[in-house]
Structure 1
Amino acid sequence: MQTEATVGDRALSSAHGGGGLKYSARNQQQAQIGTVTNLLAGGVAGAVSKTCTAPLARLTILFQVQGMHADAVALRNASIWREASRIACEEGFRAFWRGNLVTIAHRLPYSSISFYAYERYKNLLQLVPGFDRHKDYVSADVGVRLVGGGLAGITAASITYPLDLVRTRLAAQTKKIYYRGISHALYSISRDEGIRGLYKGLGPTLLGVGPSIAISFSVYETLRSFWQFERPHDSAVLVSLTCGSLSGIAASTGSDP
């Protein structure tokens, strides 16, 4: 069975002689431009979102490591407002964005790789017999999104993990400063803990990132498709923001431990 693209290519080839080759080359060029656009859009979107939520991200990290540095009384009295007030008074307002530069340095490649890998994995999975879309379109589509998202998250996290480790250690610093910046942290960890030290905690991270990205992508695309089908005239920005927020909540809730 011929696809429309194949018929179109042959029609152009017949009409213009060698024009079919030019048409194919133009298609390849447009695909490459689309790939670069997706990579840049994913990276910039990740960097902007992380910068906007950097204060909450730092508070999250401090609460996660609080049991290592505080007594039972301090833990019982812990609250977001109390910790935020402590940071503002003791470290200054800019401290809410401590480690954000490395967050951006990490998020640009991480988001780009995850978006790109997700599309590639989806295309590959649709060729697998177990994901035959003609048998059960809905379940196959959700399955492709879940597995593709999980694989994309694992791929991106594995490649960019040293920057993620540095980001966490910089954000976890309070009064005592161990690392003065990204390069100093990378050098110090490599010197004191070896190259393998840059991948400390990778296993638990992949266990969390895989399900997190899988849930995020699958919930986002499923909700967006359903919304656009039911209410096709709603604002695309509203749809993206709402579905993105709900998918983020679902992903964080499912993978937080």
Structure 2
Amino acid sequence: MPSYITNENLSSSQLAFCGAVAGVISRFVVAPLDVVKIRMQLQNHRTNFTFANGSSTSTVKYASIIPSLRTILKEEGIKGWYKGNLPAEYLYLSYSAIEFWTFNELEKFMERKQMTEKLPHSTKTFISGMIAGSVATTITYPFDLLRTRFAVQGDTKHYTGIFQAIKSIYSIEGIRGFYPGIRPAIVQIMPYMGLLFTSYDLLASCFQRLREKDILSSQYKGTHDMISGAVSGVLSKTAVYPIDVVRKRLQVQGPYLTDYVVRSTKYSSNSWWACMKLIVVNEGPRSLYKGLLPSLIKVAPANAVTFLVFEETKKLLVNRSEKT
């Protein structure tokens, strides 16, 4: 049985198109929050699991969402909210297209091999999402690296454009320079995308059954898809967030260290686990969740918009194919 995400009337290429459209639109909506999240992640002040006022954040530049947005706006203008947005748009477009194409191909492969009878539906969805996310992450990782480095540039502009940045990274760091942090990225994305697709499929399917029984109105299908996307995104992101912090730290270990990371702090790009332990020792366990709030505030609308646009684009293609 196909998942709620796919459609037997659409090809993998058509679903890839739906994903690309959804990725581009959702990225533009959440770009400012992404910049704030990245800058919070890269600050290496110590944080503790406490609600007391024992640890002051007066010296921390990016301590909370609204003040951080104001600081960036004041110092860098509206463009500061969208630093790294162009490579990020390329990332979201290509990532979403590859991801949904791969997911559909994997789902069809499991149907052909009659794995559906052997595996529970949720397990099949989890495996398809996990592999699809890994493939998309590996192929599009250089765009993620560029997005991060553009987002954390201060007054000194080491990278002035995408092609200049690619040329600079390749000439100084070689081909490996495009893949620092790829290991924690893969470690993170496997459970994240597996959980995201599985939870979205379960939630959206529940809403669908309620609509079929006339318990919920079909005219609110878009709202149901948005709720399913937002909830699944929050659950999945929270589960894997510490690995995302490690990935960001490793991504800025090039020849130009960001202004937002103490320059004496260096992490081995060959050991994401050692990096995680170093963060815990130097900054406290809670530091693995730096930037979590803006990340969740970002991921909820991002996934809500992504799945809403994906489903609406999918519906348009289905209606078009039925008319022809």
- TM-score category by the smaller chain? 0.7 to 0.9
TM-aligned CA distance change 1:152 to 1:90, over 3 Å: same
- The alpha-carbon distance between structure 1 residues 77 and 191, as it changes in their structure 2 partners (threshold 3 A), is closer
Aligned equivalent of 2:35, options 58, 73, 80: 58
Change (3 A) 1:37 1:132: closer
Largest Rg, 1 or 2: 1
Letter in 2 for 1:51: F
Aligned equivalent of 1:214 = 194
Q: Which residue of 1 aligns with 2:227?
A: 242
Offset from partner CA, 1:68-98 (integer Å, 9 cap, x none): 8xx9752398222222121011100121011
Q: Deviations over 1:171-230 (max 9, x none)?
A: 111222221111111111111111111111110111111111111111111111111112
1:106-140: CA deviation from partner (whole Å, max 9, x where unpaired): 111110000010111122234557x443x6xxx71
Superposition TM-score, scaled by structure 2 size: 0.63
**Partner of 1:27 in structure 2?**
none
> What is the match of residue 123 of structure 2?
143
TM-align CA RMSD? 2.3
Q: Gaps spanning 5+ residues in structure 2: where?
A: 1-7, 46-55, 243-324
Check whether the contact 2:110–2:116 (CA below 8 A) recurs between aligned residues: no
Q: Which fold has the larger relative contact order, with Cα–Cα distance below 8 Å and residues 6 or more apart in sequence?
A: 2
- Kindly indicate whether the alpha-carbon contact (under 8 Å) linking 1:43 and 1:108 is maintained by their aligned counterparts in 2: yes
TM-score (norm 1): 0.79
Query: 4+ residue stretches of structure 1 with deviation over 6 A?
Result: none
Residue number among 105, 110, 115 corresponding to 1:120 in the alignment: 105
Instruction: State the identity %.
Output: 31
Distance 1:80 1:189 in 2: 31
Indicate the SS of the match to 1:67: coil
Distance 1:76 1:192 in 2: 30
Partners of 2:176 and 2:236 in 1: how far apart? 29
Contact 2:13 2:101 in 1 (8 A): no
Counterpart of 1:83 in structure 2 is 68
1:223 matched to 2:203? The reply is yes
